[in-house]
Amino acid sequence: MYRVSAYYLSTGLKDHKLEDTSTEEALALMSVHGKSLTRAVACALLNGYWSGKLFTRPLAWYLRWHCKPAELFALTTAILIYGGTADFMNTTRSVRRMKLTTPNLGQNNQGS
């Protein structure tokens, strides 16, 4: 996810710009940001540390040559929507609520 985020943020595009693109807009965006977007899609598809390191560039090249620009933007939008950071943020909030640094003094005594 870190690499996908880095590739996407290097383009400087906003997600609303990718949602409803015409063919001309898709071609213009692909000419400017095509490499970064295809690398983000390829890295998300591979979903592994070593496979991402080794095969992101060849898969991105394959996607550039065999997919239409509108298809790539649809994949990019799907990755942004469904592969988001919601799980990461939920985990962060949960850990913050646990207060790991507070001392644990055991259970409270209760009478019978």
Q: pTM score, two decimals? A: 0.61
- Do the beta carbons of residue 4 and residue 30 sit within 8 Å? no
**Side chain identity at 89, as an amino acid letter?**
M
| Residue 45 vs residues 38, 52, 70, 90, 100: alpha-carbon distances, Å | 10, 9, 17, 23, 35
Q: Where are the domains of the chain?
A: 1-10+33-85
Coil, strand or helix at 1: coil
Residue 48 — left, alpha, or beta (φ > 0 → left; ψ -120 to 50 → alpha)? beta
Kindly report, residue by residue over 45-71, the tens digit of the pLDDT. Answer: 888 888 888 999 999 999 989 988 878
For the chain, give the longest Cα–Cα distance: 76
The residue that leads in pLDDT, 61 or 95, is 61
